[in-house]
Amino acid sequence: MSAAERQIDSSRADYYLTLWRDWMRSHSSRIGYPSHSAGFSSGGISCWDDLAESVDGYAVRAADAAIDSLTPIHRAVLCHVYLQAAFRFRVPLDLALSAAQEAFMGEMRKRGME
């Protein structure tokens, strides 16, 4: 893989991992009644923003599944960098992060995400 391809892969990984980070920070399990009543739907996607939100939702679920299937060290590195979890590593963080992002993108490709 060339340096340019690695850079593109790294930026794609960062995009998906940033979506995942935002989802992880905002996720809450609500108990009780829903905040919206059941009613008529307009058929799902009605504008560009709805389409973008549904695609991002799919990407976040794929990213979460990809992270779950990584090795423990790669999961720890991604949680340390993106969720500010406290881990210590025996290798420099930048090397561990690039290896974790590469493994993450391999898992995302298995799930049909480029």
Please name the amino acid found at residue 75.
R
36: three-class secondary structure by DSSP: coil
Query: CB 12: neighbour CB atoms within 10 A?
Result: 16
Q: What is the pTM of this model?
A: 0.74
Query: CB 70: neighbour CB atoms within 10 A?
Result: 17
Please name the helix (run of DSSP H) or strand (run of DSSP E) that holds residue 17, with its range, or none: helix 3-26
What is the residue-averaged pLDDT of the chain? Answer: 82
What Å distances lie between residue 98 and 14, 22, 23, 48, 102, CA to CA?
10, 21, 22, 33, 6
Confidence of residue 91 (pLDDT cuts 50, 70, 90): confident
The predicted-structure confidence for 34-63, as pLDDT tens digits, reads as follows 565 555 555 555 676 666 666 778 889 999
Of 71, 82, 84, the C-alpha closest to 22 is 82
